[in-house]
Amino acid sequence: MNINQIKAGSIITKSKLPDADYVINPYIGCNHGCIYCYAEFMSRFTGHGNEKWGDFMDIKDGYPMPRLEKFEGKSILFGSVTDPYNPLEKKYQKTRELLKVFAESGVKARAEILTKSALVRRDLDLLTRIPNIRVGISLSATDAKFARVIESHAPSPQERIETMRILSEAGITVYAFISPIFPFFSDWKAVASEAGKYADEICFENLNLRGGYKKRVLDIIKEEYPEKYNDFEKIYSSKEIFQTFWENEAKVIKKFMKGKKYKIYFFHEKIKKA
Ligand code: SF4
């Protein structure tokens, strides 16, 4: 792996995401190996040309620590195009360094962390001192074998659910991000039931396939699960089929989640907040 330390002018960037005013990405790149990673477009914008996403990691350095008074009341998401607890965080501790600023400032920014990693547990000492923080744990299915196929270097679904338990018992607000839902593979009802024991909110996002990773995902499904390939591929064969499938799925989710706190992010639009 090509690992570099790079000088960054700032560490907080304005965001266009629906639920985040600002984002913090302490790293460029991510080596969790998710076959559906939409963040790989970052390679082109960060001077990595045709380097394969996951084969390089830039560790941001040299930026001024954020003056959080400017962000009072704003939402700041850690990890929009990287996992802030990717394996390099164990050594470089860039996320931890920034969380210290949040813990020591007392400023009520609405910090949010989105990760797949159990490493977030290391920072419980800081997380419990940050007002308004939420930690989202993302997972797509409970099946460890399937998770290994789609996210080869990320912790197992069981470790992620256990992480939710530990965070929740430490008093941290936790949400589950069931994402991406793979049609015919993601047992989202089981994930929601299991995660719901510890999560305050369950968020759902569908699998979108576009650009360079569409072929990659289809090829891997064809190779690993040939018996399911035709049904899976059909969902992505036309806009109409795609739209109808996910509209129906959203209806099932709404029924299943009735009375509970949830959000659905399908078609990259917020459909409903309970
Ligand atoms: S954890 Fe997120 S950023 Fe990292 S490879 Fe997976 S989808 Fe991409």
Q: What residues form DSSP beta bridges with 263?
A: 203, 273
What is the signed CA dihedral for 192, 193, 197, 203, rounded to 10 degrees?
10
Place of tokens 């959080």: 68
Given ligand 1 and candidates 23, 27, 37, which is best to mutate, with the most ligand atoms within 8 Å of its CB?
37
Do residues 209 and 183 lie in contact, with contact meaning Cβ atoms separated by under 8 Å? no
Q: How confident is the model at residue 272 (pLDDT cuts 50, 70, 90)?
A: very low
Place of tokens 């739209």: 243
Q: How confident is the model at residue 274 (pLDDT cuts 50, 70, 90)?
A: very low
Could you tell me the distance, in angstroms and rounded to a whole number, from the CA of residue 73 to the centre of ligand 1?
A: 27
Q: Which two tokens stand for residue 107?
A: 């400023």
Q: What residues form DSSP beta bridges with 28?
A: 58
pLDDT in tens, 96-118: 999 999 999 877 789 999 999 99
CA R_g for the chain: 18
Atom of ligand 1 nearest to the CA of 79: 3
pLDDT in tens, 128-141: 999 889 999 999 99
150 lines ligand 1 (CB under 6 A): no
Q: Determine the Cα–Cα distance for residues 260 and 270; give it in Å rounded to an integer.
A: 17
Among protein residues, the one whose CA lies closest to atom 3 of ligand 1: 82
Q: Which two tokens stand for residue 155?
A: 């912790």
Atom of ligand 1 nearest to the CA of 53: 5
Q: Which two tokens stand for residue 88?
A: 């390099």
Does position 271 have pLDDT exceeding 60, yes or no? no
